């Protein structure tokens, strides 16, 4: 808040907001409802990771390090008679 002694360093948040925006836009390109970055994927439990599918490996604008993109295939799981955890 303006004038507050508690300040947020926007330089910390900015790359994360940019990544979230790029992932959201890329869902249309890949035709999936949800994209998960490699960093988030690595935080998931093994049980949830097993329900994710690797979509692509890309280098995003402003980075030199390629990252993997995953999706969580809820419709595919349901069509196969599975349940969603």
pLDDT band at 10 (very low <50, low <70, confident <90, very high): low
Helices (H), 31-61: 38-41, 46-49
Look over the chain and give the mean of its residue pLDDT values, rounded to a whole number.
82
- Residues present in the chain in total: 85
Using the structure block, give the residue that is written with the tokens 């349901």: 78
pLDDT band at 30 (very low <50, low <70, confident <90, very high): very high
pLDDT band at 73 (very low <50, low <70, confident <90, very high): confident
Whether the pLDDT of residue 29 is over 60: the answer is yes
Which phi and psi (to 5°) does residue 5 adopt? -70, -15
4 against 47, higher pLDDT? 47
Say what the pTM is: 0.72
Strand partners, 58: 67
């Amino acid at each position: 808040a303006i004038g507050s002694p508690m300040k947020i360093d926007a330089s910390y948040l900015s790359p994360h907001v940019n990544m979230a925006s790029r992932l959201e836009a890329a869902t249309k390109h890949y035709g999936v409802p949800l994209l998960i970055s490699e960093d988030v994927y690595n935080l998931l439990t093994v049980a949830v990771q097993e329900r994710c599918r690797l979509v692509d490996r890309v280098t995003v604008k402003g980075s030199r390090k390629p990252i993997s993109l995953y999706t969580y295939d809820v419709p595919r799981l349901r069509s196969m008679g599975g349940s969603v955890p």
